[in-house]
Structure 1
């Protein structure tokens, strides 16, 4: 047995959906505005997970240009039936206000790593779609229904008014067409805000799992059951199954939105999202992550956590040959391709905008860091509280609207940007810009640093929990630390309009290039290095 520490998928990995095929488990997680859409991981022991596929990988599968921050791919559901995988997902195109634009799609493939069919639009009346395959051969489509009206009376501004319940309808998997009438099968428990539905069948009961309580501190996993897929559903007497709401000392906060699976040995495991706020700061820079819990069953057929109570366990014992280690990812473009840990924003970068050439990755500048359309930005998840990230670039801008460098990014209103640009009086310079939860840039240095007119520049970010420092080195020189220590907790779910109920991603680190003149001036990157450290190991 090995002691396994939660989360099992660290860093931004929310809304897990799990399925087992033979001896292999698969987890699909939300990616929101990050591209490609949906990350699917595989494991044979529930401990060690490898990225297997990112299926929504071209514009025929997914186009999120224009989607606001924290929109895009919400809550995918991965299932398996008759030798085929099915993936349901939402491409959310509006979040703020009373209305949601939430087209839901289904796609399928013979293997997770293989070719996925063009997504079929199923409906748009809510989000978090799910597919249940019954033992009688029928399949059912579920989603929460978004009700833009004031359900509790006009001018009722409570968030509960929008959550209209969980809808179920039979679906033809071959065509993606819904069959017959839909039925509202669950209006929620007293916790309310029901979303993220999944149905499984166990013995004579259909078990409905939903997320409730919103995405903040009151988030939960709720279970109900019925003898018919159409209900009525009885809420479990020990509701919720898991929640951190009443566990102020738990390391794992905001536990909710889960799915479960049985092992080949008949054990039941729950995957759910959670967050690990910075100590003493209460801000979740890594967003919502995926955790694992063992589930037991009472004699009368209700699930409960093996660890006891309702708060999520931080550790559990599992059979595993090895445990995950800290990541040390070094990329040198003279010998490597860009790893699939990197994402772009909202769409795949065109071949004439991002390509390798003579030992460099060439990235042509596009729109600003505030754009919801076409940015030239590539980044990977932060997956540890302590890490360093280094880039080497060749960039000789000729205009102040041309910039390239290293970015610590949460969304278009929360970032720190160490970049090379041009100043009309000083020539090539190094500067830092930041955005702390609003639309306005700030410049924490008194003045930019003058660089040699040509030559490679190395840039580094070092993150130690809530502290960020920037460093640079010119070709042939030594590392220089910039004279400032920045508040890294800015890049968190909790900061900004709506807090954790409206900020759904997590901190990324990577590189980017802008040319606001529209001429697509390029930057050339030769080395990327992401390295994690345990506490007090950061150099």
Structure 2
């Protein structure tokens, strides 16, 4: 037997969509404003997962420029019709307003590593679309959004048949289910003559859960199970919280499992906070005497561990095997992430200085358009990130450094930049006088940006910057004569979470490097040995 430890995909990996194709399982996650779009992992045993690629081209024009924080690509749904993979998803361009301004797209591929077909737009009733394949027919499920004053933003689940070739609607749209508690994220399967509708319930926070409904007809009416399949809303001390947004899958042996999102909270004086974001977990499922799905361990709360039968582990060198419609990614390594557009030769140069990565500066960290940043997911509450940097900023409009990042209104930045001589006030005419090179620690928290520390440093030699995260605290530092010298006070790492602040937040904390030039994008910074080490507790 193989012991499964949840979460199976750790750190920012929300809204999992799980499908089996042959002997392999594939899982897609939301990417929001980040590239690569729609990351996909694969597994042979549901316990051990590896990066398998992403849906390249999911954002038309390879751009999400201007989308708000936590906008972009929401809740992709991955499916397999026996010949092709299908992915359906929404690009959400308004967050926190009655209008989601969502465009829904479909793309297909014979292998999850691509190539994926150019996205084709289909009807957009709301976010959280999914596809159901049955006897050569294709059905689109969706959340219905009622934006009108007095309307319900989560106004029920609808289904529309689509022509498989043209993706145009066939017939009318059917209302499947409405209820008073918020429901979204529909996934549909057929078992024992029942159409089983798996729903996310209660929003994406600590009230989250999974509810199931069923019908003898695809178009309804649907009967709602009296009890949730999965939730921690009444268990604030449970180690896995926010359990919801799920999908059922059957193994070749006839066993059933459930993928769902979850989060690992930290206790703070302000309540529970989850800076690692929403992660992916797996639960074993059985069916009761009345044919409703139940968690195998007999609870509605997610299990942190359980055992599954041993299966053949992936052979990384086997290439495309007969039982897997998949060509492995080149190195199966998770990628670095970029904001709102993919990395481009115009701003990232790995060749000019061997062993170093050169980033050209552009917009500042608050930009929704063109921030030149490379990030990696933080997957554990004990994490250390560091990088060696060399740059020569000559104005306060140029900077480069190391970040702890959540979004454009929540980050900590340790930057190498220019400042006036010590004791001299800021006056904005840097080219008329000499200055000094400094490390500046900046904290950004929604509407407040402040400098937490300023230290003068030698700009003539490379400088190693780092940050150590220990649960709720983050301490920035730099190396001075092989000794770590703290920069500024310890900072509250949990501010970089969904649970802090007044705005909707749906992603997770990252460690990143970036380069800024607000004038003419001529400034460059060289980085080497960027590493993020996450240590499980």
Taking structure 1 as the reference length, the TM-score comes to 0.90
Aligned to 2:512: 510
Alignment of 1:76-115 (within 5 A): 76-115=76-115
- Residues 463, 368 of structure 1: CA spacing in aligned structure 2 closer, same or farther, 3 A cutoff? same
CA contact (8 A) 2:257 2:284 kept: yes
CA contact (8 A) 1:220 1:244 kept: yes
Alignment of 1:79-478 (within 5 A): 79-134=79-134, 136-151=135-150, 161-188=152-179, 190=180, 192-237=181-226, 239-280=227-268, 281-320=271-310, 340-357=334-351, 358-425=354-421, 426-436=435-445, 438-445=446-453, 448-473=454-479, 477-478=482-483
Measure, in 2, the Cα distance between the counterparts of 1:428 and 1:321.
Answer: 57
Aligned to 1:18: 18
Offset, 1:176: 2.2
CA contact (8 A) 1:36 1:58 kept: no
Measure, in 2, the Cα distance between the counterparts of 1:384 and 1:411.
Answer: 19
Offset, 1:21: 0.6
Offset, 1:41: 0.4
Gaps of 5+ in 2: 314-329, 422-434
Q: Secondary structure at the match of 1:514?
A: strand
Aligned to 2:484: 479
CA contact (8 A) 1:47 1:320 kept: no
Offset, 1:216: 1.6
Gaps of 5+ in 1: 153-160, 324-335
Measure, in 2, the Cα distance between the counterparts of 1:337 and 1:361.
Answer: 20
Measure, in 2, the Cα distance between the counterparts of 1:4 and 1:283.
Answer: 25
CA contact (8 A) 2:382 2:535 kept: yes
Q: Secondary structure at the match of 1:273?
A: strand
Aligned to 1:158: none
1:239-259 per-residue CA deviation (whole Å, 9 max, x = no partner) reads 211000112221111111101
Taking structure 2 as the reference length, the TM-score comes to 0.90
Offset, 1:477: 4.7
- Residues 174, 321 of structure 1: CA spacing in aligned structure 2 closer, same or farther, 3 A cutoff? closer
Measure, in 1, the Cα distance between the counterparts of 2:349 and 2:521.
Answer: 17
Aligned to 1:328: none
Measure, in 2, the Cα distance between the counterparts of 1:340 and 1:20.
Answer: 21
Measure, in 1, the Cα distance between the counterparts of 2:335 and 2:527.
Answer: 17
Measure, in 1, the Cα distance between the counterparts of 2:296 and 2:58.
Answer: 42
Offset, 1:49: 0.4
1:110-137 per-residue CA deviation (whole Å, 9 max, x = no partner) reads 1001200000000222111100001x22
CA contact (8 A) 2:51 2:333 kept: no
- Residues 348, 141 of structure 1: CA spacing in aligned structure 2 closer, same or farther, 3 A cutoff? same
- Residues 293, 477 of structure 1: CA spacing in aligned structure 2 closer, same or farther, 3 A cutoff? closer
- Residues 61, 54 of structure 1: CA spacing in aligned structure 2 closer, same or farther, 3 A cutoff? farther
1:388-410 per-residue CA deviation (whole Å, 9 max, x = no partner) reads 11111111111111010001000
